[in-house]
């Protein structure tokens, strides 16, 4: 079976350094907000071209803390997409605000900026663009609209560390950037972890307090906060991995381009499309195909794992049924959820494995067409 992701090669490459640094933390007795976190925050801020980076417990918490720091709450509206992992929208719900959904561009899977301005009301306070699958959203258009209406922009960069838009790293373009270090991400730790980035001194100070129970001075609490601190062990792991992120992302792009070459003559397959002036880091290699569900099953039978990100859009999830969203609200989003599938993508995948994946896709499509 060719897996959708295989982390064993990465671990083997870095095993000695990873185990040494983890053991250092274990023997130090300093497990929360120590030197490893400080180093990662400093390096992460420099890498992303921002003034501040703060380690938090997860990518979900990063989004939650961002909205809290911006004082978004009950009665406010936050515009985002429905074609995303639920954490993007959960964060809006956590603060009591209302999610308002914009349809996606079916080629890039990101914000259809032509629809964005139509969704703005007097209650709108922020926009959350999602850099899905490692593909930057059209931040020029989004920021122009945000400035026009005096709205905050919180970038969901969970799948896009290292991606750039017009030469700038994602997470440095809006008011706050939110990153995830979940193990499957391009830069992942051995559990949950996240990071927020900002150029605002005020927002950095606010989020630093909020992640630590609303406290700036121990046992003195200015507001009700969260317990959302990046652990020292996770920071130590990330400090070992972080210097490799550009190399890994470059390799992912090579893998994507080779897939494109392998699929170029298959009319039934739509391969990923990169937007102009963007550097996509291919967290996933996601194609669109007919008879998607049957194709996924056929690939499994041929020894190829494929995943569906995401089979049900957020506005049609049971968790959001009370908002009264219905089918037909977001036609591009809803259609894409029936067509997309992601193929094995990780820096260590070999060309031989990619050929096997492509052959499995081709033969499966022929077989499914013959049955139709």
For the stretch 9-38, pLDDT in tens is 999 999 999 999 999 999 999 999 999 999
Decide: 81 and 110 in contact? Cβ < 8 Å. yes
**Six-digit token pair at 128?**
């959350």
Bridge partners of 53, per DSSP, are 197
pLDDT at 237 over 80: yes
* Domain residue extents for the chain: 8-102+110-243, 244-371
Decide: 256 and 343 in contact? Cβ < 8 Å. no
CATH, domain 244-371, list 3.50.40.10, 3.40.140.10, 2.60.40.10, 3.90.1150.10: 3.90.1150.10
Side-chain half-sphere exposure of 149, counting CA atoms within 13 A: 22
Instruction: Report the pLDDT value the prediction gives residue 283, as an integer from 0 to 100.
Output: 98
Instruction: Report the pLDDT value the prediction gives residue 164, as an integer from 0 to 100.
Output: 98
Instruction: Report the pLDDT value the prediction gives residue 309, as an integer from 0 to 100.
Output: 97
Q: Which percentage of the chain shows pLDDT scores above 90?
A: 98
Domain at 8-102+110-243: CATH architecture: 3-Layer(aba) Sandwich (3.40)
Q: What is the pTM of this model?
A: 0.97
In 3-state terms, what secondary structure has residue 222? Answer: coil
Instruction: Report the pLDDT value the prediction gives residue 232, as an integer from 0 to 100.
Output: 98
Instruction: Report the pLDDT value the prediction gives residue 371, as an integer from 0 to 100.
Output: 84
pLDDT at 372 over 90: no
CB proximity list for 251: less than 8 A, separation 6 or greater: 347, 348
Decide: 263 and 273 in contact? Cβ < 8 Å. no
Confidence at 122, pLDDT banded by 50, 70, 90: very high
**Six-digit token pair at 172?**
């440095």
pLDDT digits (tens, 9 = 90+) for 86-114: 999 999 999 999 999 999 999 999 999 99
**Six-digit token pair at 351?**
């060309």
Q: How far is CA 128 from CA 12, 36, 147, in A?
A: 37, 30, 14
Q: In degrees rounded to 5, what are phi and psi of residue 52? A: -140, 145
Closest CA to 156 of 206, 194, 115, 113: 194
């Amino acid at each position: 079976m060719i897996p959708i992701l295989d982390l064993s090669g990465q671990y083997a490459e870095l095993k000695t350094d990873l185990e040494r640094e983890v053991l250092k933390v274990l023997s130090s007795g300093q497990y929360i907000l120590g030197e490893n976190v400080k180093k990662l925050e400093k390096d992460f801020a420099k890498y992303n071209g921002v003034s501040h980076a703060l380690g938090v417990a997860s990518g979900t918490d990063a989004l939650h803390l961002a909205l809290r720091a911006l004082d978004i709450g009950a009665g406010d509206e936050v515009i985002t997409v429905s074609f995303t992992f639920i954490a993007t929208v959960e964060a809006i719900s956590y603060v009591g605000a209302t999610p308002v959904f914009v349809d996606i561009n079916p080629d890039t899977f990101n914000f259809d900026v032509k629809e964005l301005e139509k969704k703005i009301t007097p209650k709108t306070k922020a926009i959350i663009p999602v850099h899905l699958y490692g593909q930057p959203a059209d931040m020029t258009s989004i920021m122009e609209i945000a400035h026009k209406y005096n709205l905050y922009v919180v970038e969901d960069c969970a799948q896009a560390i290292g991606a750039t838009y017009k030469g700038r790293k994602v997470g440095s373009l809006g008011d706050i950037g939110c990153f995830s270090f979940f193990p499957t991400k391009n830069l992942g730790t051995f559990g949950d972890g996240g990071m927020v980035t900002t150029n605002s001194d005020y927002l950095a100070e606010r989020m630093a307090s909020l992640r630590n129970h609303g406290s700036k001075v121990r046992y003195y609490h200015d507001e009700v906060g969260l317990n959302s601190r990046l652990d020292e062990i996770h920071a130590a792991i990330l400090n070992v991995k972080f210097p490799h992120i550009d190399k890994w992302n470059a390799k992912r792009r090579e893998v994507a381009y080779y897939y494109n070459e392998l699929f170029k003559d298959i009319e039934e397959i739509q391969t990923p499309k990169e937007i102009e002036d963007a550097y996509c880091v291919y967290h996933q290699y996601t194609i669109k195909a007919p008879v998607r569900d049957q194709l996924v099953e056929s690939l499994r039978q041929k020894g190829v794992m494929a995943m569906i990100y995401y089979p049900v859009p957020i506005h049609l999830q049971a968790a959001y049924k009370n908002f009264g969203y219905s089918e037909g609200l977001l036609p591009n989003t809803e259609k894409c959820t029936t067509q997309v599938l992601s193929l094995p993508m990780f820096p260590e995948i070999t060309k031989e494995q990619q050929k096997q994946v492509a052959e499995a896709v081709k033969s499966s499509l022929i077989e499914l067409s013959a049955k139709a």
